[in-house]
Amino acid sequence: MSDPTPPAAQTGGQSQMGRGVLSPPVYHHLSTDFYPWDEVIADLKARSQAGQSLLFQAHSEAVCAHFVWQAGQLLGGYSGPRDLNFAALMRGLPRARVSLMPLSEGTAAAIWAQRAAPGQALRGTAEQVSGQLAGQIGVLTSMGTAPRSVSYWENGQPQYGSWNKDGAEQDWQFVSLRRVPDTGELVHFWQQVLAVTHRRAALDEVWRQVALGLAPHHPVLDPFTRELTVRAGELQVDPGVQVEELQPALLAAYRAVLDRLGLRLSDLPLDALRRHELWSVSGLGTLDGSRA
Give the pLDDT of the chain (292 residues) as one tens digit per residue. Answer: 333 333 333 333 333 333 345 778 899 889 999 999 999 999 999 999 999 999 999 988 778 888 999 889 999 998 877 888 888 888 888 889 999 999 887 778 778 877 777 778 899 998 899 888 876 788 888 876 655 677 888 767 888 877 888 888 999 888 877 666 778 888 999 999 999 999 999 999 999 999 999 999 899 999 898 899 999 999 999 988 888 789 889 999 999 999 999 999 988 999 889 888 788 777 787 786 544 4
Distance CA 221, CA 219 (A): 5
A 10 A CB-CB count for 262 gives 9
27 and 158 assigned to the same domain: yes
86 and 42 assigned to the same domain: yes
pLDDT at 48: 93
Please indicate, yes or no, if residue 197 is contained in any of the structural domains.
Answer: yes
pLDDT at 289: 54
Q: DSSP character for 1?
A: -
214 and 276 assigned to the same domain: yes
142 and 157 assigned to the same domain: yes
114 and 197 assigned to the same domain: no
230 and 276 assigned to the same domain: yes
* Last residue in a domain, options 146, 176, 206: 176
CB-based contacts of 149: which residues, under 8 Å, 6+ apart? 28, 141, 142, 161, 162, 163, 164, 167
Please indicate, yes or no, if residue 292 is contained in any of the structural domains.
Answer: no
Please indicate, yes or no, if residue 254 is contained in any of the structural domains.
Answer: yes
Please indicate, yes or no, if residue 240 is contained in any of the structural domains.
Answer: yes
46 and 120 assigned to the same domain: yes
Please indicate, yes or no, if residue 1 is contained in any of the structural domains.
Answer: no
pLDDT at 145: 60
237 and 160 assigned to the same domain: no
Cβ atoms of residues 162 and 24 within 8 Å:
yes
pLDDT at 146: 54
Q: Which of 236, 233, 190, 230 is nearest to 208 (CA)?
A: 230
225 and 163 assigned to the same domain: no
Instruction: For residue range 259-270, list pLDDT tens digits in order.
Output: 999 999 988 999
43 and 106 assigned to the same domain: yes
* Number of structural domains found in the chain: 2
* Last residue in a domain, options 124, 141, 176: 176
37 and 118 assigned to the same domain: yes
* Last residue in a domain, options 176, 192, 213: 176
Please indicate, yes or no, if residue 2 is contained in any of the structural domains.
Answer: no
pLDDT at 192: 95
216 and 122 assigned to the same domain: no
Please indicate, yes or no, if residue 276 is contained in any of the structural domains.
Answer: yes
Distance CA 26, CA 250 (A): 36
Query: Can you give the residue range of the structural domain that contains 102?
Result: 7-176
Distance CA 213, CA 270 (A): 27
pLDDT at 278: 80
Helix, strand, or coil (residue 96): coil
Please indicate, yes or no, if residue 67 is contained in any of the structural domains.
Answer: yes
